[in-house]
Structure 1
Amino acid sequence: MDFRRLRHFETLYRLKSFRLAADELSLTHSALSKSLRKLEEELDLTLFDRTTRSVVPTRAADQLAGQIVRMIHEADLLTREARMLRGASMGALVVGAEPVSMDTLVPRALATLAAGLHGSAHEGVRPTVQVGDERGLVDRLLLRTIDLVVLGGLDFSAIPFEDSITIQRLASEPSVILTRRDHPLIAGAAPPMAYIDYPWVLPAFPGNNFLRVPEPYRSEMVRRGFPTIILESFGACLDLVRRSDVVMGAPLSFGLAAQEAGGIDMVTFPFIAETGYAILRLRNRSLSPAAHAFAEALAQAARSAASHARVAEFRGRQRGTTLYTP
């Protein structure tokens, strides 16, 4: 079967006009009509009822249309991925990221990728990052509108559609509590539970993250509707923390950068809290060379954060709430 005829069918079925379909396909009316007659002969079906004024799809056409559209979509994806694997066309690299990874691993990985692309065979790649929540990003991954998803958080035990997705877990790093400089909790050396008494701000806190929080903290956080405030990014959360008595949790690498910028104190959690990272991709989809390079840059950034000299020192002090100073 000539695949071009399936494209001709899809265009006429969608537009229901020989003139419009022929114009879109850059064919003459007679060439399009001949192509569709050949398809009908191959299938031994009448696909369109033709009159001098209209084109009406038959019941057979209605039943076949969905499958033909999917075949065309899959063929287009196959052609695109084959071109990228040959290195002939890098195209666009589209990455989905949660707020945690967007403000930690992703910028470092993009910097590494940009340095590696300059003057290389992959120089034409155009990276784009879409920020969203886990479920929305997974939906886009399944629809193949993004190449990779980068997650950051306390728990990845309930990834939807896990049977269709490959999960590459990256190195983790400690989580910390960030407050403004000279916060009442810091000045008064408050006990661990006192931190829950203050408002918390985060970009998001999926319910499965509570699985990593021990009692009695978990029950209290659920009862109080943790977090108190939700903003779109870690940067916006940090700005609010600097200006108020609101506190937030963050990966240690993010906390170190915030502390060095000034106006922020960093405190250990009263229990073991780790920020984990993971890369999600479709099991049955080949990655382009640029996507492979970006995934490796993400893994390198996670390893760097986990092996930072101050991380090793910090881990040893993480079992009690302690003011951390560089």
Structure 2
Amino acid sequence: MKRSDIPYLDDLRAFETTARCGTVRGAADELSLTHAAISRRINRLADMIGTPLFERSGRGLRLTTAGDQLADVCRRSFDDLSRTIATIREAQVTEPAAILLSCERSVAMRWLIPRLSQFQDAHPEIAVHLSVGGGPVDSKQNRAALALRRLDFEIASGWSVVPLFDETIGPVMSPDMRSSFDQGDYIALGSNTRPDAWDDWLRLHPDAPRPRERRMFDHHFLMVEAASSGLGVGLVPHIVALDDINRERLVAPFGFDPDGSRYGVLHPSQIPLGKDASLLLDWLRDRSRDI
């Protein structure tokens, strides 16, 4: 078959949309055409191929065997076209686009932001826009180039994952609280995002002193600041307490235990990572080795 014998693209679009919508009216609405225009294009396509593509089924339409075969090919071809055009458009950006990096709030505030200037100093030509967010990422709604997440949820289709480090948690406190902690005279600070964390940790450490009271915070970064200020003992991920431990604002007498989850970076699998985003991803992997 010669390329000149291939049907008009408009006819194929009208046919594929009708097959997908199930009605000519639905296709007309989607393509912003009249009912008559859709019907003309489908009839012209059927005449060119030499066989009917639809048959009546009650008040609706049903694909013929030939129509079903053609609809499947059209659907896959249009999907390939959409992906290819999106990739080409991404490659045609003449000015370096800012990288959108989404990160969980506590990790952003307690670990990422204090280090991000290191990346900016090394790559002043790369702009990084930071947003905060947690949990699942919807590839249809959120087109962040990179998303730093605790991987405790099902990864949506369309996202690739680059593992970074294992999550570990443990109790932290100001040095002045250590004696009260050892005597069991302390307030246990917890996070509403992980309400069972203290129960799990105490079961893992049956010889550890029990708290006299518990108080909950909305976020780990608030809990760490409360622990640093002497309000109690916070059970926190290592990553959010790391800098305060290094500065000796906090101590962690029991260390940190793995909780079975990991952190990683997600990025849209159908959009190739550009050079700048790849540099940022490599930097994140390098910095995470210190955790």
Q: TM-score, normalised by structure 2?
A: 0.58
Other-structure match for 2:234: 247
Distance change in 2, residues 1:165/1:159 (3 Å)? farther
Match runs of 1:93-172 below 5 Å: 93-107=99-113, 111=117, 119=125, 127=129, 129=131, 131-133=133-135, 136-137=136-137, 140=138, 145-152=143-150, 160=154, 167-170=161-164
SS in 2 for 1:16: helix
1:83 pairs with 85, 89, 93, which one? 89
SS in 1 for 2:223: helix
Structure ranking higher in helix proportion: 1
| One-letter identity of the residue aligned with 1:292 | S
1:296 pairs with 279, 282, 289, which one? 282
Which one has a bigger Cα radius of gyration?
2
| One-letter identity of the residue aligned with 2:109 | D
Note the C-alpha offset of 1:290: 3.9
Identity %: 12
Note the C-alpha offset of 1:44: 4.4
| One-letter identity of the residue aligned with 2:191 | L
Match runs of 1:1-326 below 5 Å: 5=11, 7-9=13-15, 13=21, 16=25, 20-21=29-30, 23=32, 34-41=40-47, 42=49, 44-46=51-53, 58-60=61-63, 72=78, 75-85=81-91, 87-88=93-94, 93-107=99-113, 111=117, 119=125, 127=129, 129=131, 131-133=133-135, 136-137=136-137, 140=138, 145-152=143-150, 160=154, 167-170=161-164, 177-179=171-173, 182=176, 185-186=177-178, 188=179, 190-191=181-182, 194=184, 198-202=187-191, 204-205=193-194, 216-217=204-205, 229=216, 231=218, 233-241=219-227, 242=229, 244-245=231-232, 247-251=234-238, 254-256=241-243, 265-273=249-257, 277-281=263-267, 286-303=272-289, 305-306=290-291
Other-structure match for 1:317: none
Note the C-alpha offset of 1:266: 0.7
Distance change in 2, residues 1:203/1:117 (3 Å)? farther
| One-letter identity of the residue aligned with 1:279 | V
Note the C-alpha offset of 1:268: 1.3
- Distance of 1:28 and 1:171 partners within structure 2: 56
Determine if contact 1:175/1:269 at 8 Å carries over to the other structure. no
Other-structure match for 2:3: none
Return the structure number with greater relative CO, CA threshold 8 A, min gap 6.
Answer: 1
- Distance of 1:219 and 1:4 partners within structure 2: 74
Q: TM-score, normalised by structure 1?
A: 0.53
- Distance of 1:91 and 1:43 partners within structure 2: 49
Which ranges in structure 2 are unaligned for 5 or more consecutive residues?
Answer: 1-5
Determine if contact 1:166/1:282 at 8 Å carries over to the other structure. yes
Task: Write out per-residue CA displacement over residues 93-137 of structure 1, whole angstroms, 9 at most, x where no aligned residue.
Answer: 5554334533355436765666677657xx6xx84635122xx23
SS in 2 for 1:132: coil
| One-letter identity of the residue aligned with 2:243 | L
Give the count of matched residue pairs.
270
- Distance of 1:104 and 1:284 partners within structure 2: 31
| One-letter identity of the residue aligned with 1:60 | L
SS in 2 for 1:200: strand
- Distance of 2:167 and 2:27 partners within structure 1: 61
SS in 1 for 2:181: coil
Q: CA RMSD in A?
A: 5.6
Which ranges in structure 1 are unaligned for 5 or more consecutive residues?
Answer: 50-55, 307-326
SS in 2 for 1:201: strand
- Distance of 1:36 and 1:164 partners within structure 2: 33
Distance change in 2, residues 1:33/1:204 (3 Å)? same
